[in-house]
Amino acid sequence: MKNQLKLSMAVLAACVTFSAIAADAPKSMRGLDVAAPDPVAADKAYVGARPGTQKPIARTFSTQPPVIPHSIENFDEINLETNQCMDCHSAATYQKKKAPKIGDSHFVARDGAKLDEGSAARYNCTQCHVPQVDAPPLVDNAFQGDVKKADAKKPVKKN
């Protein structure tokens, strides 16, 4: 008898807990029910105009690949034959094009050897450098990077 009472108490407790969870069903960050399929995200236009018409965007932390401040929509896609980014950013062209030269770390081979031109491992620029869209953060946050260090023109030296 005692055991039966214990069992029914446990069942009752489980029911109460379950209905409490159901009433406060978890939602995804976009406000949808977690079980609902994610809708296709709306296409957002990249911000930024022609290169040479805007300032670099402040870096958020010291080892961040700087984000691309200018539009890249009219450039050809990077492939085996062409890399338009290098028309302006390579060691050979950057001065003439008044563009920042690719980072110092791009002139280092995998074995640590110094290179005269960018390493092939850095060929796919947009794998690390991304253009900008106007997208507010999904959740409020108070993130602060080491902005001061990160904004130093040259990559930060290790202390």
Distances from the Cα of 64 to the Cα of 1, 26, 119, 125, angstroms: 67, 34, 18, 13
Answer for which of 60, 84, 145, 146 binds ligand HEC (CB under 6 A) is: 84
Backbone angles phi, psi at 122, to 5 degrees: -105, 15
108 contacts ligand HEC (rule: CB under 6 A): no
Determine the interface stretch with ligand HEC among 4-12, 13-21, 23-31, 125-133 (rule: CB under 6 A): 125-133
**Using the rule CB under 6 A, is 71 a contact of ligand HEC?**
no
- Cβ nearer to ligand HEC, comparing 36 with 121: 121
Neighbours of 4 (CB within 10 A): 8
Nearer to ligand HEC (CB atom), residue 60 or residue 126? 126
- State the Cα angle at 153 between 76 and 50, rounded to 5°: 30
Annotated binding residue 128: yes
Q: What is the CA radius of gyration of the chain?
A: 26
Which tokens is 26 given? 């978890």
Binding site for ligand HEC (CB under 6 A): 51-54, 56, 63, 65-66, 68-70, 72, 75, 83-89, 97-100, 102-106, 118, 122-129, 155
